[in-house]
Chain A
């Protein structure tokens, strides 16, 4: 009896200990997959080297304030190698990366391997109740969806916009552009924007700086003109649909822009056009909005002041203003060993709270309507947010983005090659478009 009694006491003590242990472990169980102090989990990300280090040093510590037991390592890779490396990794037997940061046209290519999590289904249980999917603008969110599945969230949003130098517009006596400015009006004003501002007897300021060189982003300029006139690169059957009078006119407009650009502009791309604008040598620039801070605010990189620089959507065609989408989205590998932690990182960074921190601290453009509607911490962001919101709406209405197809990069490369031939005078606009169409048909066959 004694022994029985003693046994009961021991059992009761054991039960009590177990219950206490359970109570103590409850939060840990709730956070399963997010690591503990004793056993942190690791999330590895592959991203463009242009911002990988900034994220590693500034964003990860901020994330760790909320998720201290998730160790995040970000590997930066040059843009040109990023897609091939991501594809190689995600299709491997045991991928190194849990999170891939994919450029706008890459989601179909990555998704067709069957190696990505469907965030609205596979990650639904880990999604916070207050994570508002509907708050995202449709255009940036659509960058990481394909065939009706949402594979990612927008993390760094960007749009091709029109920058203009108010001082050069005033000197030329040309009215400042408004979102209603059409391509025809802009082309009529362009000769006046080529001017001799210093009285040296020859032009020292030109109308336009943008992509003209052999580069996959160069065709986005005439693609935007085509889109703003209601045209599309590919039809619903994924057949080239740009060898039309509208397509030829759009490319011809792009070719004609060279006449009003600085000498040697045929070999200009991102760096050269940006440099020319920042040095006050061109009146307008069609460029990614994300360069605004370095172009108008940061004295270390620009000669211009915020009040000198205007930003808006690109000139309008018959269907409305133009823009072109360029969104970096985060996707999670299906074979990730820590998918919950990987999703936690993406969820936090794209949440209302995370996006606001990201925009205000690192100057990264937001995708959420609520962030764009709120007053930003810096005044210079006010006109930028207004232009961005307009651009999202224009892009969504005119489907202004690169082709959504697993072979999108091959399509864009064909367009880049032929656009370069046309701009350098080696082919007419029509011949270049026909050659591009024939190549794209072969690629998509």
Chain B
């Protein structure tokens, strides 16, 4: 009996030691995360329920849900959310479709494929503010390259950045130029990882390229497409710099995405408390939608 108890105690001790060992490795990372992630989030939450004293730059008095009420009653907040939704609905599917299509094309054997792949990386490494500025010059109706080129076909001049509808299209184009290569990189890796024997079997059965794409490649790639969508969604929902550099949120409010709006309210209007409330609302919305997308991605994984 005693030996059984000793053995049990020994096992528990070993388990505890094991747990302690694991936490010893985890602790530095957890502490770092706590400092760099949790602290700013909790501080933002604290400010969102307070009045921020600009004299001391400290939260000054609990105001309950007042800041949230102010935000919810502000038409401009909903307008910015609408603008963000338009941008996401236009940009994300475009980038995913383009990215996977380009990856499929450059996956085929052809000369110069390596150079094209390398060139694709360039937009990703250009600083977004620089990219926005360069595109602003390219699209300028007076001396921009874009209008010069379409002018050769007797078209234009097009006011890319001055027309509210076109300005949003322009932001989507710039963002797509910047982020499609990222999707191409992931898609290329996914396509290369597809089992060759399945395609060889399809070839033996006389399947054409469309059949192989529609009924073999796409189902096999679906989990990866879903995962890429979630990753891009998390990046796109934070979009701010391209809009700031290319259009400044204008004309009017046409391209004032939610993050640009929060930035303007916080750092230009110095409404830090209300901006914190906006940030928390956006964080909650993003978490809910990300959760839904992850659920969808898991279902697709199970289905295919």
A264 is contacted by which of B56, B76, B140, B164 (Cβ under 8 Å)?
A: B140
Question: How far does the Cβ of A115 sit from chain B's closest Cβ, in whole Å?
Answer: 8
Measured CA separation A382–B267 after assembly (Å): 39
Instruction: Please tell me if B117 contacts chain A, counting CB pairs below 8 Å.
Output: no
A216 x B249 contact (CB < 8 A): no
B269 contact from A265, A410, A421, A424, Cβ within 8 A? A410
In the assembled complex, A266 has its CB within 8 A of some CB on chain B = yes
User: Chain A contacts of B270 at CB under 8 A?
Assistant: 83-84, 87, 109, 407, 409-410
Cα-based distance from A80 to B196 in the complex (angstroms) = 54
Which chain B residues in 227-262 approach chain A with CB under 8 Å? 247-254, 256
Residues in A neighbouring B247, C-beta threshold 8 A: 213-214, 267
Contact between B142 and A262 (Cβ–Cβ < 8 Å)?
A: yes
Q: Which partner residue on chain B sits nearest A281 by CB separation?
A: B142
Q: Is B55 an interface residue (CB 8 A)?
A: yes
Closest residue on chain B to residue A267 by CB atoms: B161
Give the shortest distance, in Å, between B296 (CB) and chain A (any CB). 36
Q: Which residue in chain B gives the minimum CB-CB distance to A422?
A: B252
Q: Which A345-362 residues have a C-beta within 8 angstroms of B?
A: none
The tally of residues in B whose CB lies under 8 Å from a CB in A reads 34
B58 to chain A, nearest CB (A): 8
**B150–chain A nearest beta-carbon distance, Å:** 13
- Determine the chain A residues whose CB is within 8 A of the CB of B301 once the complex forms: none
Smallest Cβ distance from B46 to chain A, in angstroms?
17
Interface SS of chain B: loop
Q: Are A421 and B159 in contact (CB under 8 A)?
A: no
> Given that A266-B162, A407-B270, A424-B164 are contacting pairs, would A214 and B250 also be in contact in the complex, using a CB cutoff of 8 Å?
yes
- Confirm or deny: B66 has a beta carbon within 8 angstroms of a beta carbon on chain A: no
- The 8 A CB mask of A416-443 against B (1 = contact, 0 = none) is 0100110111110000000000000001
Query: B161 touching A87 by the CB < 8 A rule?
Result: no
A263 at the B interface (CB under 8 A): yes
Q: Which of A88, A263, A417, A423 contacts B141 (CB 8 A)?
A: A263
B57 touches A213 (CB 8 A): no
Interface residue? B59 (CB, 8 A): no
Pair A214/B141 contact, Cβ less than 8 Å: no
CB pair A420–B251 under 8 Å, yes or no, is yes
CB distance from B80 to the nearest CB of A (A): 11
* Residue contact B269 to A409, C-beta cutoff 8 Å: yes
Q: How far is the CB of A91 from chain B (nearest CB, A)?
A: 5
- A264 near B142 with CB under 8 A, answer yes
Given the interface pairs A84-B267, A114-B55, A263-B141, the reply to whether A214 lies near B159 with Cβ below 8 Å is no
**Min C-beta distance of B132 to chain A, whole Å:** 12
Are B140 and A112 in contact (CB-based, < 8 A)? Answer: no
Contact in complex: B267, A81 (CB < 8 Å):
yes
Q: How far is the CB of B217 from chain A (nearest CB, A)?
A: 42
Within 8 Å of chain A (Cβ to Cβ): is B160?
yes
Q: How far is the CA of A88 from the CA of B58 in the complex (A)?
A: 10
Contact of A420 with B250 in the complex, beta carbons under 8 Å? yes
**A281 vs B140: C-alpha distance when bound (angstroms):** 14
Quick check: is B22 within 8 A (CB to CB) of the other chain? no
Nearest residue, chain B, Cβ from A84:
B267
Query: Would you call B248 and A215 a contact (CB within 8 A)?
Result: yes
User: What separation, in Å, do the CA atoms of A157 and B174 have in the docked complex?
Assistant: 38
A contact residues around B295 at 8 Å (CB): none
A112 to B271, CA, bound (A): 16
Among A84, A91, A279, A424, which residue has the most Cβ atoms of chain B within 10 A?
Answer: A424
Interchain CB contact under 8 A, A91 and B251: no
For A406, what are the chain B residues with a Cβ–Cβ distance below 8 Å? 54
User: B249 touching A214 by the CB < 8 A rule?
Assistant: yes
CA A1 – CA B163 in complex, angstroms? 104
Interface pair B269/A413, CB less than 8 Å apart: yes
Contacting B at CB under 8 A, from A271-300, are 272, 275-276, 279, 281
Q: Which B residues are CB-close (under 8 A) to A443?
A: 269, 271
Q: Are B250 and A109 in contact (CB under 8 A)?
A: no
Complex Cα distance A269/B161, Å? 12
Q: Is the CB of B161 within 8 A of A91?
A: no
Are A262 and B141 neighbours in the complex by a CB distance under 8 Å? yes
In the bound complex, how far is the Cα of B248 from the Cα of A87, in angstroms? Answer: 24
Within 8 A of A (CB), among B252-289: 252-254, 256, 264-271
For the A-B complex with A84-B266, A413-B268 known, give 17 more contacts whose Cβ atoms are closer than 8 Å: A87-B54, A87-B57, A91-B55, A92-B57, A214-B250, A262-B142, A264-B141, A264-B157, A264-B162, A267-B247, A409-B268, A409-B269, A414-B269, A420-B250, A424-B251, A424-B254, A425-B164
A sample of 29 inter-chain contacts (CB < 8 A) reads: A80-B267, A83-B267, A91-B55, A92-B57, A109-B54, A112-B55, A214-B256, A215-B248, A262-B141, A263-B141, A263-B157, A265-B162, A266-B161, A267-B161, A267-B162, A267-B167, A269-B248, A272-B140, A281-B142, A409-B270, A413-B265, A417-B253, A420-B252, A424-B162, A424-B164, A424-B251, A424-B252, A425-B252, A426-B252
